Structure 1
Amino acid sequence: MPTVVFHKAGQTYTEVVNDNTNLVVRAGIKQFPYPNLKYQCGMGKCATCACRVISGAEHLPPANWKEKKQLGERIEQGYRLVCQLWLSHDIELTQDIAPAAK
């Protein structure tokens, strides 16, 4: 079961989640990382859930077309759309700086 370390506004939140977990889905049903994760559509259309991956990126699939469209060059800086990720490995994320869409 993956451990998720989530940084936001100078605070750090850590929790173990079930394998194959999507953090936006969990926040939507008021589980970790709720209420700290900023999100909106959950479908890769708004980029509100964009986070920078600090560690664990090597276990994530390549960015999909939605992430490429919304994040552009920010993908190279480690940003991903959390709504598009199903976690099976430990990951550390930050949402202190939200990138602008496109």
Structure 2
Amino acid sequence: MPQVKFHYGNGELHEQEVKENSNLVVLAGIKKFPHLKYGCGMGKCTKCKVQILDGAEALAPPNWKEEKMLKEQLEDGYRLCCQLFIQDDIELKQE
């Protein structure tokens, strides 16, 4: 099972194993990632924007929603958490 390391803006680190193909916004909705900020869950608001610190190569390429909302931020490793499905170990940060 993939290991997720999630750095929250308050300095807290949350580490947890998740099932393969998990979406962290869905897990946040059931209190598995309690401090993750998110809004619409559909790639329209960018409240769930995260920076990928490690493991980006295991993610699918950004979809059209991420390209539209994040534009050049994609080059700096930012993604929309609601659009990510975790396949392998990953480390993320959210301000």
User: Which residue type is aligned with residue 25 of structure 1?
Assistant: V
For 2:41, what is the secondary structure of its paired residue?
Answer: coil
Q: Deviations over 1:39-97 (max 9, x none)?
A: 0100001010000000000111110000011101000000000100110100000002x
- Where in structure 2 are there 5+ consecutive unaligned residues? none
Q: What secondary structure does 1:44 align onto?
A: coil
Structure 1 unaligned segments of length 5 or more: list them: 97-102
TM-score (norm 1): 0.89
Q: How many residues align?
A: 94
Tell me the C-alpha RMSD between the 2 structures.
Answer: 0.7
Alignment match, 2:45: 46
Runs of 4 or more consecutive aligned structure 1 residues displaced over 6 Å after TM superposition = none
Identity %: 55
Q: Distance in 1 between matches of 2:13 and 2:81?
A: 17
Residue in structure 1 matched with residue 25 of structure 2 by the alignment: 24
Query: Given residue 77 of structure 1, which amino acid in structure 2 is its aligned partner?
Result: D
**Could you say what secondary structure the match of 1:40 adopts?**
coil
- Secondary structure of 1:38 counterpart: coil
Q: Which residue of 2 aligns with 1:86?
A: 85
**Which whole-Å CA distance do the structure 1 matches of 2:67 and 2:87 have between them?**
22
Describe the superposition over 1:2-45 as per-residue Cα deviations: whole angstroms up to 9, x where unpaired.
000000121111000111100000111222x1x21000100001
